[in-house]
Chain A
Amino acid sequence: MWRDAALVAERDLRVELRSRVAINQVAPFALLVLVLFAFALDPDTGVLASATAGLYWLVVLFSALLAVSRSTSIDEVDGIRDALRLSGLAPAGVFLGKVAAVAAQLLLLEVVLVVAVAVLYDPELGGFPLMIATMLAATVAVASTGVLYGAVVSGVRVRDTLLPVLLLPVLAPVLIGATKAFETAFGAEGLHGWGWCGLVSFFAVVYLVAGSLAYGALLEG
């Protein structure tokens, strides 16, 4: 299973390297939304700086929708699904491989966004261990949930409109948790940042397991 996962992860990342969708489309979209938030929330009043954590994770969530959609579409090409079913690859391995690929892209994006946010919103950053732990946990949570739900709506005409409706309510706890963790890292009191990080990690584990178990049934349809 792990060997299959590595194979699939490498394949997805290679496809991304060739097609450059994340670099050319998702990253600019994310940066654009960051800028739009500034237009909507007037940089001078200090609202942006205090709301940085929440806004940051909102942008990550929206970007994840695009990344997941792209990851799902790679395997929707005519004949690929049949080939995957025939290939002898363990479905759990395929799932984990895709999660790894999406997570890698999201992590890279998140690092870029941290820099962008530091420059544009001028918040008080700090607590880097908590920040990094949260980024890792939340990324895995979002990626695993996204790949699983992407498979649920794969191949369907209304996929792109249905995916956000399914995914965003489910990820609400991750948004809450990651935001609280970041706020704690930035110096807010009484928010139990590490506790929230733990909740997000638990969420990630649940969806890693759920996706590994369910992906096979979804492939077979």
Chain B
Amino acid sequence: MELVVHFRAAVALLGRFPALAGIDLDVAQGQIVLLRGPNGAGKTTFLRACAGLVPVVEGEAEVLGCDLRRNPRGVRGRVGLLGHGTGLYDDLTVGENVRFWGRAARAEAADVASALALLGLDGRLRDVAVNKLSAGQRRRTSLACLLARRPALWLLDEPHAGMDAAARDQVDSLVRQAVAQGATVIFSSHESDRATALADRVVEIAGGVAVGPDLKVAADVA
């Protein structure tokens, strides 16, 4: 099985601060990997580094066959990042946001429509401005923008945060669906039980590196 993510002794800088201090982490295609660890450990930076947004200054870093040290932009079109910020235009409606980001990524109109539907956003909510939504609804909208693009690698930073139980179930089923269709998912979470249940592997991150052996390996990994 090919490696979707390959990091070896990778150092990544935020300004002058080494947020990733020599991390080793490999992820194969089709895996669902949970990153756990204290705040400030580097989980968010790792996810952003996989998207080519944070420069890796030492070590090896390859995502989807693209060398992040030499060509960080090469991976951009094929990964989807759900970050802390919403990445949404507050004055525009849910539908307008998803349509804009979808069209920007050259997504099919059908994918945009189904993304809205899968997240329950194609009804009344579609024409509501983002600045009138709750935090959980905004998160779902951001997820819809990601979903419409059908990326090969999903990078989710605390995807369950701010959502009610029904929405969290929705997220979980979407992740499983995406993996069934060939995607790979790396996510970070503070939600112990649900997150561990969803993941195939659990990796502990501290001090900018992955600590110790995997805390969980699923009995059979699809």
Given contacts A15-B92, A77-B90, A82-B53, contact A7 B84 (CB under 8 A): no
A7 to B107, CA, bound (A): 13
Contact B91 A19 (CB under 8 A): yes
- Knowing A15-B92, A18-B92, A18-B129, the reply to whether A78 touches B86 (Cβ < 8 A) is yes
Q: Are A74 and B89 in contact (CB under 8 A)?
A: yes
> Which chain B residues have a beta carbon within 8 Å of chain A's beta carbons?
48, 51, 53, 73, 76-77, 79-81, 83-92, 96, 100-101, 103-106, 129, 142, 145
* Interface of A: prevailing SS: helix
Contact A79 B104 (CB under 8 A): no
Instruction: Report which A residues bind B (CB closer than 8 A).
Output: 4, 7, 11, 14-15, 18-19, 74, 77-80, 82-83, 85-89, 220
Determine the chain B residues whose CB is within 8 A of the CB of A85 once the complex forms: 53, 76
Q: Which residues of A contact B53 (CB under 8 A)?
A: 82, 85-86
Q: Are B87 and A82 in contact (CB under 8 A)?
A: yes
Chain A: minimal CB distance from B219 (Å): 34
Q: List 25 A-B contacts (CB under 8 A).
A: A7-B104, A11-B92, A15-B89, A79-B83, A79-B84, A79-B88, A79-B142, A80-B87, A80-B88, A82-B48, A82-B51, A82-B83, A82-B85, A82-B87, A83-B81, A83-B87, A83-B101, A83-B145, A85-B76, A86-B53, A86-B76, A86-B79, A88-B76, A88-B105, A88-B106
Contacts of B90 in A (CB 8 A): 77
The distance in angstroms between the C-alpha atoms of A18 and B85, with both chains bound, is 21
**What total count of A-B pairs have CB within 8 Å?**
67
The 8 Å CB contact of B104, one of A18, A77, A89, is A89
Complexed CA–CA distance, A4 and B104 (Å): 7
- What's the Cα separation between A88 and B104 when bound, in Å? 7
Contact status A14-B92, CB under 8 Å: yes
* Bound CA–CA A220/B73 (angstroms): 10
Q: Taking the nearest CB of chain A, how far is it from the CB of B180, in angstroms? A: 24
Chain B nearest CB from A24 CB (Å) reads 13
Chain B residues whose CB sits within 8 angstroms of the CB of A74 once the complex forms: 89
Of A80, A87, A220, chain B has the most CB atoms within 10 Å of the CB of A87
* A87 and B81 in contact, given A11-B92, A18-B129, A80-B89 (Cβ under 8 angstroms): no
* Chain A residue contacts of B73, Cβ below 8 A: 220
